[in-house]
Structure 1
Amino acid sequence: MPKPIHGLLDSLIEQFAAAIAARARQLGGRHLDMRCRVEGCKNMSRGPRFGYICDKHRKELSAKEQREAREKWNAAHAKAA
């Protein structure tokens, strides 16, 4: 004779798994734009740790010029609030 608690437990586990999967789909939509922030550059940057500036421009541009390039890119790509 099967125990009724197993059926209840199975349905609870399935509901929990479905809830976790739905939440994962909601959070999985954010993708970072990893392109270099210098205008006209099509190289990939190394991400936020390096200020979204590619290796070439990190060597060639001063810190001030890199900051200005990021500010210009941010202004051009600002979301309308």
Structure 2
Amino acid sequence: MSENTDLDEIISIISTRNKHNTEQYYIDLQSNEKAILSCAANIYAAYINSGKVISGLEEEFIYKSIDAAIKMVFRI
């Protein structure tokens, strides 16, 4: 779980829907949210490239990536 409970709730809802539904969902993000998502995606990609993300630990590293991106925002 991250420090952002709203984000945790969104991820939980999407995960649940993905298990039971094959429909596509679209989310409109604000520009600052897009920037955080992009940063988190880059951090997650670095974890994958370093070999740290193994099967079964994907969610843990996704949360770690999001947390790191949010922490970076607060340091600006």
Q: TM-score, normalised by structure 1?
A: 0.30
Higher relative contact order, structure no. (Cα contacts within 8 Å, ≥ 6 residues apart): 2
The structure whose Rg is larger is: 1
Provide TM-score, normalisation by structure 2.
0.31
